[in-house]
Chains A and B, each alone.
Chain A
Amino acid sequence: MLALAGRRLAGAVAICLGLTVVLFVLQHLSATDPVRVLVGPSASTAQVDAVRHQLGYDLPLYAQWWHYVTGAATGDLQTSLRTHRPVATDIAQFLPASIELALFSCLIAAVLALVLGIGTAGRWRGAAPLNTVLLAIASAPAFLLTLLGIMVFYRNLGWLPPTGRTSIADPPGGPTGLLTVDGLLTGRPDVTLDALRHLVMPAVCVALLPAIAVGRTLRSSLTTALESDHIRTAKAKGLSRRAILLHHGLRNSATTPLSMAGLQLGSVFASLVVVETVFAWPGLGLYISQSIPTSDFPAIAGTTLLLAVAYVAVNTAVDITQAVLDPRLAR
């Protein structure tokens, strides 16, 4: 198991290094001028050149890359051209909101995937219509779902707030940065409740597509497993439906949906950009979506690196979990 984790860690370093190269080449090819955006249209060419020199944007590309990589290794992700603050500081500020949203989305996605997978795998009358509904939802673009959610649950029903993380003017500033947790830790359940109300819509919007993807994979695996010989034997032995499903069906069907869940993390990250923008959720998705138009390279590169690390880490965790479930995979 340790060897597997070690191999994955080495892979993660290589992936991040490769990613920085790709980012620098793309930035170089993109024909953008972030310095002009930074100093404004009326600034003189001399002023623009001075700022370009100050930021090191006049160095050869390989020198810029080396400067970036050596800095990143020590935690210096440079300064955002848009916010004028260190990218590491920006990330530290915006990351908790994204983590909270991603965690709740994953939780909702896991519950929904289980419900949908098990619900549609059974031979009951509603399975086919439910499957059709799932397909329809899976086809809807994220921005449409988010706007529909706001229209229905805020504008028409008035049940949920439309934007932001909280309506409370003085939420606790720590210790975790997750408002739902900090509310409990600081003895302010009103903060937790308010944060949960703000979380519902964005989390469901992020969760829907991965839930359906994982749920459909689970359905397929479960359907195959439930028709296998050992399940027939279990039935013949007189085990209950629940025992068969939980102890024999689900366990043997879990590896493929788990792989899919790890891969779906990419879709969660992609959804965060859209969902955080529409719901004005102050997380990394919103940060990066506002950095792209101005070609704020340090912000884009820093956030991308972080997401890459998270993606590799989660998929490593998935591999390890699969190995626990099926020890043959660890070899």
Chain B
Amino acid sequence: MRTVTSALVLTLTLGAGLTACSGNSPSAPSTSTPTTLRLALSADPAPLDPDTYYEAEGLQITTAAYQGLLTYKPDSAEITGLLAKSWKVSSDGKTYTFALRTDVKFSDGTAFDAAAMKASFERRVALAGGPAYTLAEVESTDAPDPATFVVRLKRPVAPFLDYLASPYGPVAVSPAAVKAHAAGDDHGAGWLGAHTAGTGPYQLSSVVKTTRYVLTANAHYWGGKPRFAEVDFAVVPDFSTQSIELQGGQLDMVLHGLNTRDYAAIKQNPGFQVQNFPTLFKTQIWVNPDSAVFGPHAARQALRDSLDTVALTKQIYGDRATASTEVYPEGMLPKGAASDMWQANPQALAALSGNKDKSITIGYYGDNSLQQLANTLQIQMQQAGLTATVRPYGPAQVFALPAEPKQRPDILVAAMNPDAAHVDTWMSIYQAAKAPVNFLGCSVPAADKLADAARVTVDRSESQELYTKAAREYQNSLCWINIADVRDTIAAKAGLTGWRHQMPWVFTVDLATLEPTS
């Protein structure tokens, strides 16, 4: 027994010795103004080359390092100039002429001009990555002088300006950096996967894959010195750990992913704050038109009528979302043009109890809120006499659904976010019959025809009218039932001010305007 006791004592002594050397007790208050902002990424982002990078996690890094010609005003769908001071569109809608800023430099110190923008457009097309679709209709570009950049399209593209303002839109990449670091015909993509060469307020100064990404202020930034000299991103995949680290003082901000209870608890702590920003995210129920239960339009109507969106939104999201009232996110269509409200009738599903086939699968794709919504729907379905099974779908599974009809659930709960604040970026990506991620294969030919026409219509109001008509057709199909408009909810330590946010920039805030406090 003496052996056992000795071993225990030794173990405890070693443990105490190690912990006694601890240098990072949580919440150690600092008396000086912090110069480093500490954030977390929930996944190691893909290579951060802006011409191939096409995911949400890590967008905070690319949007801080790169800028395009246009952007959106904070929390608005209104487009404003960024590297372009102004722009003109020809009467045929095919030629865009941009007057560029002349006081901009890249983070490598070289000057930004029209030739650099032209090279950046050409690089994106040559790399043919995911975001290259934004330039698919570009016929040619021209740089007649350093401050003028001209883009000619093959045909009018209604959402083209929104593509340029999108966080995945074309950005200025230093041609000098590309040339210096090109390997073979990779256009510098290998180097730009872990470095940056943009005109934004920050540049990537250190990358340790799967561990840490560090941004430092861009000394050549034209928009004024950012308040934080450094932004340190730690890769912390587990959101519970992120929450504990925020509350323990290891992180200054958690960009997304906590559950409603976590946010409520953090909000009540005076040492922290919770910020909500409007986004283009919509939580929806996608209905499989080939479902034995929900295939008939009347069944889809019953499903929709049974849903009390206000109650569901409050239950699932608390104040992190509002019940949806429009078919598309705010700003995509004139307010009220495609209203989307109904009188909830919890008994409506009872109409399906006489169905011969009562077995359904409820899929969900996304975070714990969507799982909770799927579980709530399961209970409602079972109360209506249906046998419902809930099944999670990961990204690789859900993106395979358009090509795998047999794998499609009867209904799919998902929250989708388009790349830009233009209704076409929703219809042509999620709803058209040939849309790349029309998960459950719903086809509304009349709507597709209207949307196609709207896309090439030069007159903006005429185009919007066509899109509005298309919206009503898609809405009437009841293949997509809107539940909630979800906000970007960010938990942070108290005292951080200068919050600025853009609607399509998911899980992202403007780092340049954030101000630290002592």
Contact = CB atoms under 8 A, between A and B. Distances in A.
B311 interface: no
Contacts of B132: 43, 47
Contacts of A193: 18, 21
A307 B425 CA distance: 43
B24 A94 contact: no
A197 B22 contact: yes
A245 B21 CA distance: 37
Contacts of A161: 22, 24, 250
B399 A33 contact: yes
A111 B133 contact: no
Contacts of B209: 83, 90, 93, 282
Interface stretch (A11-19, A149-157, A319-327): A149-157
A289 B25 CA distance: 29
B193 interface: yes
B1 A162 contact: no
Nearest to B232: A169
A42 B47 contact: no
Given A44-B436, A47-B132, A160 B22 contact: yes
Interface residues of B, number: 64
B244 A290 contact: no
B396 A200 contact: no
Interface string B44-73: 101100000011000000000000000000
Contact of A31 (B23, B210, B404): B404
Contacts of A282: 208-211, 235
A83 B24 contact: no
A115 B8 contact: yes
Interface stretch (A62-70, A217-225, A292-300): A292-300
Contacts of B354: none
Contact of B133 (A43, A83, A124): A43
B7 A84 contact: no
Given A118-B3, A242-B3, A200 B18 contact: yes
Interface in B386-411: 394-397, 399-400, 403-404, 406-407
A163 interface: yes
A290 B42 CA distance: 10
Nearest to A278: B238
A42 B394 contact: no
A36 B46 contact: no
Contacts of B396: 30, 32-34, 36-37, 293-295
B237 A280 contact: yes
B395 A294 contact: yes
B234 A84 contact: no
A162 B245 contact: yes
A193 B23 CA distance: 11
B200 interface: no
B241 A36 contact: no
A239 B27 CA distance: 56
Interface stretch (B123-131, B287-295, B341-349, B454-462): B123-131
Interface in B423-442: 425, 429, 434, 436-437
B280 to A, nearest CB: 14
A125 to B, nearest CB: 10
Contacts of B235: 280, 282
Interface string A176-200: 0000000000000000010011001
Interface in A266-320: 277-280, 282, 286-287, 289-290, 292-295
Contacts of B180: none
B43 interface: yes
B162 interface: no
Contact of A197 (B21, B47, B129): B21
Interface in B360-409: 394-397, 399-400, 403-404, 406-407
Contacts of A34: 396
Contacts of A75: none
A134 B163 CA distance: 59
Given A40-B55, A42-B429, A47-B132, A151 B244 contact: yes
B248 interface: yes
Interface in A187-233: 193, 196-197, 200
A162 B210 contact: no
Nearest to B430: A41
A42 B436 contact: yes
A293 B437 CA distance: 17
B241 A280 contact: yes
A16 B236 CA distance: 32
B244 A295 contact: no
B223 interface: no
Given A37-B395, A39-B130, A282-B210, A154 B55 contact: no
A82 B55 CA distance: 11
B394 A286 contact: no
A165 B211 CA distance: 9
B7 A114 contact: yes
Contact of A155 (B1, B193, B247): B247
A289 to B, nearest CB: 7
B265 interface: no
B11 interface: yes
A36 to B, nearest CB: 4
A160 B248 contact: no
A83 to B, nearest CB: 7
Contacts of A33: 396, 399-400, 403-404
B18 A42 contact: no
A172 interface: no
B436 A48 contact: yes
Contact of A32 (B4, B44, B397): B397
Nearest to A153: B19
B305 interface: no
Contact of A43 (B21, B130, B193, B241): B130
Interface of B: 1, 3-4, 7-8, 11, 15, 18-19, 21-27, 43-44, 46-47, 54-55, 128-133, 136, 168, 193, 208-212, 234-238, 240-241, 244-245, 247-248, 250, 394-397, 399-400, 403-404, 406-407, 419, 425, 429, 434, 436-437
Given A33-B399, A155-B26, 11 more contacts: A31-B404, A36-B437, A40-B55, A42-B429, A47-B130, A93-B210, A111-B7, A153-B19, A154-B26, A193-B21, A290-B43
The 5 A-B residue pairs with the shortest CB-CB distance, nearest first, are A40-B130, A295-B396, A158-B25, A33-B400, A32-B396
